[in-house]
Amino acid sequence: MDPVSLLLLGLELRRFAPADDAAASLGDSLEVIEAGGLSLSPYDGPAVQPVLGWRSRRLTLSVAPGLAGSRSTATSSDGREATVSTLLWRGEARAWVHAGPALFGLDAGLSGGGARTGGASVATAPTQVELAPTGGVRAALAPTLDLVARARYPVRLAGDQLEHGLSGALLVEWHPGSRREEGAD
C-alpha cells in the first residue's frame, strides 16, 4: 500500500464548554477578582479542530490541536465595562483500534486558556491533563471520506481537582487512499 494512502486529514466539531474544558475556571480566577471583580463569560460554543494522522485497516494514530477565541464586554463589581478577549487551547494525541466500522481507543490531551483586557492578562485557567477512553463508529460518506461519531469519557486533572463526565465528538475524515487499496494489505 502506498504510504500516502495511510495519511488522514479531518475536521472535528468539539465544544469548549464548562463540562469539557478549563474555560469555566476563568471566571473564578484570582486575577479577575484583583482586577476589579470582572464578570467574565468564557466562550462556550463549538470549536472546529483539525486532525492529522495515520490510519491503517486496524489502527489510527492522530493529533488534534484546538483553539477557540472570543471577545465580549465584561462588567466589573463597581459597574465599569471592559472588552475582554478569551483564548482557549487544547491539544490531543489519539490511538484507536478498528473492528469493522467500530473503533475503540484512548485520547490524551492538555488544555488551558486565558483572558486579557486592555493588553493585560486578567485571568488564567489552569492547565488540564485529560485521558479519555473513547468508542464510536465510522461510516463511509465517499470512497475517501468518512464520518466518525464517538462517545468519550474524559477524566481530567487540573491542579488538585479530578473531574469526569461523558462527552462526544463528530469528525469528518479524509484519507487519500481508496477502500479497494486498503483491503489489499
pLDDT digits (tens, 9 = 90+) for 47-86: 678 999 998 889 999 999 887 777 777 776 677 777 778 7
Q: Which of 109-118, 128-137, 160-169 has the highest mean pLDDT?
A: 128-137
Mean pLDDT value of segment 99-112: 93
State pTM to two decimals. 0.74
Q: Residue 102 pLDDT more than 90?
A: yes
Q: Residue 16 pLDDT more than 90?
A: no
Q: What is the pLDDT at residue 184? A: 41
The residue among 20, 53, 63 whose CA lies nearest residue 146 is 53
Distance CA 131, CA 98 (A): 19
